[in-house]
Structure 1
Amino acid sequence: MFRKISIIGTGLIGGSLGLAFKQMRNLKVVGFDTNTQALEKAIEIGAIDEGISSIENAVNDSDVIFLCTPLNEIIKLLPLVSKFAKLGTIITDVGSVKKAVLDAAKNIKNDVYFIGGHPMAGSEKKGISYADPFLFQNAVYALCPGPDVPIKVINDLTILIKLTGANVVLIDPEIHDKIAGYISHLPQLLAVLLVNTAGDLGTEYLTLAGGGFRDLTRIASSQFEIWNDIISLNREKLLEAIDAFIVGLNKYKSYLLNNEIEKFRDEFDRAFKLRNEIPLTAKGFIHKLYDVFIVVEDRPGVLSKISTALYEGGLNIRDIELLRVREGIGGTFRISFESERDANKAIEIIKSLGYKVFTR
């Protein structure tokens, strides 16, 4: 279907896309980056076949072009990239704000197709050094096609994206930006504010932070360079989300001022029910997965032994996570499967190896 893909911007997302696509045969992946060191690193780790020194040469015979730069740079690159793209090329991006990018794409030439994209995956880290071929595995990947893009073109890009392991969702750009404002952009600002608020008391307070605080504030380590454009371009939706959050904070404040602590019960109950309705992953799984928890000793080769046995049993692991570990003693892994039947079969296999296993 596609022979050549161009990746403009070889950072975390661009590099991860390159690594994912490079696992496929008969697909050439080239890259362009103004950062020559990043481009050289992308070649070194196998994220791209070739680093190109100019935008024109990087895109002129590609079938699909991924713009993996900051948002404002994506908007600036659109007319230039489309100018050099061949007839029928698909151009897409990975920015987390979509309406502004789709609006800019209205002005590009009409013999190429633009489809806005947003992989709901990433890291607080940045740069090609953190690229991961499995970054998109089971992650939601939003696509926002313009009104004039043919169904076949959308389908072709969808098939390509799914080869990375992602779950593709087609969504209106306005709706996307509102959702992103509430579930991604607002949490980022809250994480930053929470760390700074606690930090104002003195850094000694932060040394006492437990797992809950660390989980809530992990994304506070993100670089502002990544978020500058996001906050600016999704300002309207972010203001809406902040206003809604302030209403909730004021309600909670009134409960405390009036000593109406019991009223928090309904809030906790509602949150519990809503949280359990979220697909069972923090990575954006669309379909429910079935989790198996394994307690193992801290010893080399344990996980390899388990995964090999599951493979030999014909089971496909959809996700795996180390939940807790105590050095020298052991830890707990979560392994997820596509179906309840697979999970039950995995339990039998793992028990036969002599490990403690349980479900929730």
Structure 2
Amino acid sequence: MKGTVVIVGLGLIGGSIALCIRARHPQAHIIGVDISEQTILSGDSLGIIDEGTTNLADVVARADLLIFCCPVQQTERFLAELPTYPLKKDLLITDTGSTKMRVMEHATAVQEAGYTFIGGHPMAGSHKSGVTAAKSLLFENAYYLLTPSAEEDPKHVAALRFWLEGTNAKFLELSAQEHDHITGMLSHLPHIVAAALVNQTSDFTQEHPAAFRLAAGGFRDITRIASSDPTMWTDISLSNKETLRELLGNWRDGMNDAIDMLEREDSTAIYQFFDTAKEFRDSLPVHQEGAIPSFYDLFVDVPDYPGVISEVTGFLAQEEISLINIKILETREDIMGILQITFQNEKDRERAKRCIEKYSHYQCHF
């Protein structure tokens, strides 16, 4: 498809969407807008964009597709300004924010001015950030949520999906309210709980220093999402605060119930508490992208001698298998492994397991 695509916010998400659009629509002209001139230069040199600017007003009149890939509060400010610009009559506008109700509310003025706005949320990410981390496969098989208004013309939704076909994502349409309730429960609340648990542990280690070394293995894994960008999660928390207040209240009530069970030494209730959780947890889909990106870790039993990490990464290099993180574990329950390697997807993890076991006698575990 020909046309001019303007992407506001040239980070991991914005850069990756640009690559996906370029792959599927090579005739499109892609313009990046970012507050950082260095980011624009990087995006241009990497071939992610065709041109860039730090000022949206300079290019917005040329846009056929306008995508806001910036924090929600910035998107809201841009939406308030849009009706003051000379825009193309058939301009299609979307965003990639993690919350949708407030964004859709701020888009009302844009829609009343006769333009199309369809909320969007690609549910994918990476431990890396910035335009230099952008990749065209970032959204493959991940859910891409769309939140058109109830009155939106289906042909506009179809047009947006066509522009975004190169993501190879699974599109799902929800109302903005349902989106925020679901992502609040499955993503936003877990991030808050993980951060609270880590903060509590941080205070605990002041009194019990040995706990710092023992807070590895399973504890580190279940609190992994607490390492997320605090600026982004401040923005998300404030933009979905009403949903989170309700969910956190329910969580608090659940913890009070747990305290009560312990005080009463009610073994039946405690067993039911864990058994119900186990049954539901075991019924969840395995290795499908959801509200929180999946982690594809491989644990490798290796001897403790100098050069073992470069040896293993050398095996992977021979098979051209990319990894996104690697670390040595001092403590890990249940699995006898000291080398943890993280991959972008399940396919790479499976290939890595076969590769390492092919070139060595090391045992690999998921």
TM-score, normalization by structure 2? 0.78
Q: For residues 322 and 261 of structure 1, do their structure 2 counterparts lie closer, same or farther at Cα, with a shift above 3 Å needed?
A: farther
CA distance in 1, matches of 2:262, 2:29: 61
CA distance in 2, matches of 1:253, 1:117: 40
Q: Aligned match of 2:135 in 132, 137, 148?
A: 132
Q: Which amino acid aligns with 2:96?
A: V
Q: Which amino acid aligns with 1:18?
A: A
CA distance in 2, matches of 1:22, 1:325: 38
Identity of aligned residues (%): 31
State whether residues 320 and 333 of structure 1, in contact with CA within 8 Å, keep that contact through their aligned partners in structure 2: yes
- The aligned residue for residue 20 of structure 1 is 20
Please state if 1:8 is matched with 2:14.
no
Q: Which amino acid aligns with 2:89?
A: L
CA distance in 2, matches of 1:211, 1:48: 41
- The aligned residue for residue 74 of structure 2 is 73
Displacement of 1:165 in angstroms is 2.1
Deviates more, 1:94-103 or 1:213-222: 213-222
CA distance in 1, matches of 2:266, 2:167: 50
CA distance in 2, matches of 1:213, 1:166: 31
**Following superposition of structure 1 onto structure 2, how do residues 35-74 of structure 1 map, counting pairs within 5 Å?**
35-74=36-75
- The aligned residue for residue 180 of structure 1 is 183
CA distance in 2, matches of 1:220, 1:329: 22
Q: For residues 126 and 320 of structure 1, do their structure 2 counterparts lie closer, same or farther at Cα, with a shift above 3 Å needed?
A: closer
Displacement of 1:359 in angstroms is 11
Q: For residues 254 and 331 of structure 1, do their structure 2 counterparts lie closer, same or farther at Cα, with a shift above 3 Å needed?
A: closer
Q: For residues 237 and 157 of structure 1, do their structure 2 counterparts lie closer, same or farther at Cα, with a shift above 3 Å needed?
A: same
Q: Which amino acid aligns with 1:8?
A: V
Number of paired residues?
338
Please state if 1:245 is matched with 2:247.
no
**Following superposition of structure 1 onto structure 2, how do residues 198-237 of structure 1 map, counting pairs within 5 Å?**
198-202=201-205, 204=209, 205-237=211-243
- The aligned residue for residue 333 of structure 2 is none
CA distance in 2, matches of 1:202, 1:336: 35
State whether residues 56 and 84 of structure 1, in contact with CA within 8 Å, keep that contact through their aligned partners in structure 2: no
Q: For residues 129 and 305 of structure 1, do their structure 2 counterparts lie closer, same or farther at Cα, with a shift above 3 Å needed?
A: closer
CA distance in 2, matches of 1:359, 1:147: 47
CA distance in 2, matches of 1:79, 1:189: 30
Helix, strand or coil at the partner of 2:276:
helix
CA distance in 2, matches of 1:253, 1:118: 37
Q: Aligned match of 1:98 in 97, 100, 103?
A: 100
TM-score, normalization by structure 1? 0.79
CA distance in 2, matches of 1:23, 1:284: 24
CA distance in 2, matches of 1:66, 1:47: 15
Deviates more, 1:189-198 or 1:128-137: 128-137
Q: Which amino acid aligns with 1:89?
A: L
Aligned-residue Cα RMSD (Å) equals 3.8
Q: What is the CA deviation profile of residues 169-224 of structure 1, one whole-angstrom value per residue up to 9, with x for unaligned ones?
A: 10010011111111111111111111110000225323321222222222222233
Q: For residues 333 and 71 of structure 1, do their structure 2 counterparts lie closer, same or farther at Cα, with a shift above 3 Å needed?
A: closer
Helix, strand or coil at the partner of 1:202:
helix
Q: For residues 151 and 189 of structure 1, do their structure 2 counterparts lie closer, same or farther at Cα, with a shift above 3 Å needed?
A: same
Q: Which amino acid aligns with 2:223?
A: T
State whether residues 6 and 63 of structure 2, in contact with CA within 8 Å, keep that contact through their aligned partners in structure 1: yes
- The aligned residue for residue 314 of structure 1 is none
Deviates more, 1:156-165 or 1:93-102: 156-165
CA distance in 2, matches of 1:126, 1:330: 24
Please state if 1:283 is matched with 2:289.
yes
State whether residues 121 and 135 of structure 1, in contact with CA within 8 Å, keep that contact through their aligned partners in structure 2: yes
CA distance in 2, matches of 1:194, 1:124: 20
Q: For residues 9 and 333 of structure 1, do their structure 2 counterparts lie closer, same or farther at Cα, with a shift above 3 Å needed?
A: closer
Helix, strand or coil at the partner of 1:132:
coil
Please state if 1:87 is matched with 2:89.
yes
Q: Which amino acid aligns with 2:285?
A: P
Q: Which amino acid aligns with 1:16?
A: S
Please state if 1:273 is matched with 2:279.
yes
Structure 2: state its 5+ residue gaps: 303-310, 330-336
